[in-house]
Amino acid sequence: MWKTVIGLEIHAQLLTSTKLFCSCPANYGDSPNSNVCPVCFGLPGALPVLNGEAVRQALRAALLLNCRINRTSSFDRKNYFYPDLSKGYQITQFFHPYAENGYMEIEVGGTRRIGITRIHIEEDAGKSFHDEERGETLVDFNRCGTPLIEIVSEPDLETPEEAAEYLRRLRELLVYAGVNDGNLEEGSLRCDANISLHREGEPLGTRVEIKNLNSYRFLQRALRYEQERQAELLERGEEVGRETRLFDVKSNRTMVMRTKEQLLDYRYFPEPDLGILRIEEEEIRLAGSTLPETPALKRERYVREYHLSADDAKILVSSPSQAAFYEETVKLGAPPVKAAHWLLTELLQHASGSDPFLTPPLTPKAFADLLVSLEKGRITAPMAKDLLPEMIEKGLSATELIAKKGIALVDSPEAVKAMVKGVLEGLRPEVERYRAGETKLLGFLIGEVMKSCKGAAQPKTVNQTVREFLEGKEE
């Protein structure tokens, strides 16, 4: 039986307004090569100046991941040639990173602690665009110098499922900390995976690296394929080559990017244009004081205080803005369980954009007003569902719309009886069939009454009154 060993390297772009070593904007999606300067290009005489906000954000991430903060760290040059790295080197922290020896807990069939070897600060490279039809490559240097942290896990992961859950939880923490936007597709969060196989009690196998995995699903698929590929080689008595590979989503296979003989010599040496990074205890304390409630603690609190299911709590907490919207709705008087249900079903149907709760279609106050009106019996659930799209479109509260439309709930017993009688008198054949024993018609008959009143009567009252009519009590 082969034992799998997996470690992940996560590159996370920090949410600073400017780059790591210059004042150029760190904006995604701007016109190509519009946010560049001599420092970005590494032109002679251009000197880097460290972005203090990037360091503060990096500290927040390290503290959330339970890392030891090194009071002194330093920067190094990683030398290699690539078209999108104009200066021929990347400034990173190789010898002395700012954070080490952390951990994060994941839950896959039980709770497991995954060690974090180190986190270091570095700058990003540019981006190449390959046009196969025209046979040319274009380079956008806007991303050069964008601040990153690289989070290197211990080889503690044992399955593709654990690796995907680790990435999911790490992304969640970074987004909650406000240091990364969690966008895997755009590349602001990137994942490289290392995997090897060995038999229990034997030395670790040869490690293979898989580069640039930009979704949980692709990470799992790539690791699963690599498990099978390496196991087949080892079963045949062949060696696993130390390679860097890429995952092809169409063929569902990994392919060789470069072999050991082609690996670049990075020639790390201390960055001569930057001094020692000293982090004072007060800076660490301040960073710690601004840490948010972790997603795991928030999920536990939702189950404990709001009596939500674990699944609903998990979905609500998956986005900080969504969780904040939910909590504000509850604070304004909405029943917690009903608020969760309506947010995750009805409200999300009408939401749009990558994060609809940053610029919500309606405010928590208006949403709470709708749910309170429903809870107090001023409107029925069908009426609430009809009101919601109009509330979003017109920016009105439920109370305002109810008054404007003159919506009246049919709530007196006499009015409900009269309505039921009127509808069922027109359905005499179905009523007689029900009374003859075809009881499955009950749902149809109640539905017809509800349809007739357009949801303006409480379903419980309608249900009871229809049953009484069918039993001959109201004729």
Task: State residue 261's pLDDT score.
Answer: 46
| Three-class secondary structure of residue 437 per DSSP | coil
Task: State residue 419's pLDDT score.
Answer: 61
**DSSP per residue over 9-64, as a string?**
EEEEE---SB-SSSSSB--SSPSTT-S--HHHHT-TT------HHHHHHHHHHHHH
Extents of the domains making up the chain: 2-284, 293-394, 413-470
Task: State residue 263's pLDDT score.
Answer: 47
Say how many C-beta atoms besides its own lie within 10 A of residue 220's C-beta: 19
Q: Which residue ranges in the chain fall short of pLDDT 70?
A: 260-264, 353-354, 405-423, 449-458, 461-462, 473-475
CA separation, residue 26 to residues 72, 176, 341 (Å): 26, 20, 38
CATH class of 413-470: mainly alpha
Instruction: Say which DSSP state 378 is in.
Output: S
374: Cα separation from own chain's centroid:
31
Enumerate the β-bridge partners of residue 111: 107
Enumerate the β-bridge partners of residue 8: 193
Task: State residue 225's pLDDT score.
Answer: 96
Is 83 in contact with 137 (CB distance < 8 Å)? yes
Q: How far apart are CA 46 and CA 61, in angstroms?
A: 30
Q: How far apart are CA 422 and CA 466, in angstroms?
A: 11
CA separation, residue 457 to residues 124, 270, 389, 401, 447 (Å): 61, 76, 20, 18, 12
Q: How far apart are CA 159 and CA 106, in angstroms?
A: 12
Instruction: Say which DSSP state 185 is in.
Output: T
Task: Quickly tell me which residue has 């690996």 as its tokens.
Answer: 263
| Three-class secondary structure of residue 226 per DSSP | helix
